[in-house]
Structure 1
Amino acid sequence: MAASSSSNVNNEANISEQQGFVVVSWNVLHLIHEINHTYDLSPVINRYSIKENWSNEQQRLNDIIKTLSDILVKYSSIECFICLQEVPGDLLPMLDVMIHAHVGPVLINKPMVHVRSYPRVPTTRRGPRQPLYINPSESLVTIHYNPYVADANKPVDNRMGATSTLLNDRAYWTQCPCDPGKGALSIVTSSGLTVVNIHVPFKEQHAMSLLNSLHWPRQDTPFVLVGDINRQASAFMHMIQTVTNGKPSAGLLCSIAPDKPTRVGLEQDGTLKKYSIDHYLVSASLRNLTTAPALVYDNIGDISDHFPIVLQFNSM
């Protein structure tokens, strides 16, 4: 996290009011889950011939990095949040290398990378093989880049009109009480914007336990929640209404779903099945600023069982 700053926070707030931002979400897939649960019905395992050679996972990780690199470059002119779920430990140093490579040529300053790892470390249930990962841990990762504020460790580059205000995020971790492999990573910027990167459990009781543990906005402050929701938007919205009932945020949160399916898999007969289970929850104050519906990057092929989704917010 960046060092604290004595700079005028209101200055950054004014910048945020003038500039838009984008929130990207992608469950990149921890492949151990795919091996354990859909080994014979996985487009990802088929594409990378994982059954023949587990070391082919490295090529998939390379493809993930290339996709994330393209996304980061595409949105490098505005404030950008990239929220990742199911991040394997081996991908973490690769993310760091990718980000460092873009600082200077493309990025004005170094993005903040917030990482929170689950207490549960996935293990394969199949017979003894070579290890799939050197570091099999699983994490939520949020990358935050803002060209309009300064990195604490670099001189200010005024190409984009950056100010002396530091990129000074506050990060909060919410572990699911019932599932050691699910949680939420909340980032609060100095301007007051909250972005929550969440992986919601499939079981409703577990999902409700996580949602009840979150700190919901006390009023109609700028708020974005996104991630692998594991259910359709209508079902999730019903849960949100239950969780926020009687709270200041009740009725002030809106669902924004992509216009295409966000997850793919195979039926028992080998036919393709598609789901829409990755979507956004935004505060009413931001609803009219979005370029809804959210975009789905479904042209990347079967790198993961989920596609990246993108929602852009216009100037506030």
Structure 2
Amino acid sequence: SFNSSKFQSGKLQTGKLQTANRLATSFNNAAGDGKRLMTAVKAAGYSSNSRGGRSGFGDSFKDSGPAPPLENKPEDTPEDKIKLIEKKVNSLIDESCLAASKGNFSLALNKAEEAGKNERVLIRQRDQLGVADQMNLDLTYSVLFNLANQYAANKMYQEALHTYQTIVKNKMFTHAGRLKVNMGNIYFSLKNYSRAIKMYRMGLDQVPTTHKFMRIKIMQNIGLSFVKLGQYNDAIASFEHIMQEDPDPKTGLNLILCYYAKGDRVKMKSAFQKLLSADLKLDDEDRYLSHNDDKQYDLILEVIKNDDLKKVEQL
């Protein structure tokens, strides 16, 4: 069998022999025999002394010559050029809207037309690359819509109508039919009230019933157009519908005037009662705010704040 104790004993003896040899070496060296049995190992790396004619680390680059010239930046790819044009078009639209907000409609129109020119260049670039199917519809819509608005602001109504029509006819622009309302506003400004009513009704058909506020605004425009035509019965129908859905003081007053034009006193009284029930959508504090530029108005406010009618209203 394997004798583990003998194996360990032999290992200890070998260790003692090695220790004795090391002591003997140390003793001989101390005796001064001049023999050095061990030498230090020099660390690897660079030496301060030159070898074979080589100098220090920094001198190794002296004969390497000048650095090669930098490579020229490659020209913009067609895709990069398209992105640059898109960025420019967006910037022009922003500048146009900013100018319009400041009342500088002439500058706004110039920027809008410049955006349109650059957008057409963008379309040609896409056609040349064979990527016309990657057309940015949102950008095209923004360009045309802003251009039409600026035409209308500058009273260039025919140009505005033509641009709106371009948008409406494009089937790729979803919900573009609502712009019929904008076209109706232009026809109203041109006093073409019959055409305005037609546009308003076409736009109304495109607005879902969930957009109640927008539908009521369009109905108000339809009613006013009928008033301009002297068709009071049709105007009354529009105003009555609004007073049933969401009564407001302006529509109520228009309804009273229509009944007055027809000479219907009974309906005038009924319309006046509806007018009184309309919510002004103002808090008392907002309703009685003073106007510093109108002293007479401020005096009236002081009187009616606590008059008998105000007390009845609070009941």
TM-score of the aligned structures, taking structure 1 as reference length: 0.19
Instruction: Work out which structure has the larger RCO, using CA pairs closer than 8 Å and 6 or more positions apart in sequence.
Output: 1
More helix by share: 2
Larger radius of gyration: 2
More strand by share: 1
